[in-house]
Amino acid sequence: MARRTPPKHIRTLALAVLIHRDHLLCARGYDEVKQQTFYRPLGGGVDFGERASEAVVRELREEIGREVEASELLAVTENIFTFNGGAGHEVCFEYLARFVAGSEPADLEPIDCDEHGRSFTACWLPLAEVLGGMHVVYPDGLRERLAEWVNRL
């Protein structure tokens, strides 16, 4: 089976930096070439005519089946990267997000997700571990942006 690599065009993404009970919800990924496990907040592509803040809500509804709201734009970043040996280029709208009242999960168990027919599991990373650099989290610089946000609280 061929390795999955990034598309050969710039993607516009909306990512939900969803923090719940001092944990960050992320999808786990693995780069076969780098032999590296990494994590990325959930989200996906912004559709033509759709605002990024709307896309992040739609994507989370599709992926985890729960309602969230984008509470604050954390950053807009340009992410140029390599995944499985292929070059990728994304413009990422990173939104701090929270569950709409009544949509919160009862626990911090992994969440089974679906992204256009591709199943994956999202997990909750302790925010202290993310801020402490114990996990590789993308897009680059997210850990530092989260630390700045926490320090503003």
Residue range 33-54, pLDDT digits in tens: 999 999 999 999 999 999 999 9
pLDDT per residue as tens digits for the range 91-128 = 999 999 999 999 999 999 999 998 878 889 999 999 99
Report percent pLDDT > 90 for the chain: 88
In a domain, 5, yes or no: no
Predicted confidence at residue 8, as pLDDT, reads 86
Please, which pLDDT band fits residue 80 given cuts at 50, 70 and 90? very high
How does strand 23-31 pair with strand 36-45?
A: antiparallel
- Please give the pLDDT value at position 153: 77
Nearest CA-CA partner of 25 in 38, 40, 12: 40
Contacts of 106 (CB under 8 A, 6+ apart): none
In this structure, is residue 130 part of a structural domain?
A: yes
Q: Which helix (H) or strand (E) holds 149?
A: helix 142-152
* Rg value, the chain, Cα: 15
Asked, for residue 133, whether it belongs to a domain, the answer is: yes
User: φ and ψ at 121, to 5 degrees?
Assistant: -115, 130
Q: What is the pLDDT of residue 1?
A: 59
**For residue 113, is it within any domain?**
yes
Distance CA 57, CA 97 (A): 9
Q: Is residue 73 part of a domain?
A: yes
For residue 139, the domain's CATH number is 3.90.79.10
Phi and psi torsions of 132, nearest 5°: -80, 0
* Phi, psi values for residue 139, rounded to 5°: -70, 160
Task: Give how many domains the chain has, as a whole number.
Answer: 1
Residue 90's domain comprises 11-152
Give the closest residue to 123 by CA, choosing from 27, 31, 10, 22. Answer: 27
Quote the CA–CA distance of 57 and 63 in Å, as a whole number.
10
| In a domain? residue 6 | no
Q: Is the residue at 61 inside a domain?
A: yes
Amino acid of residue 23: H
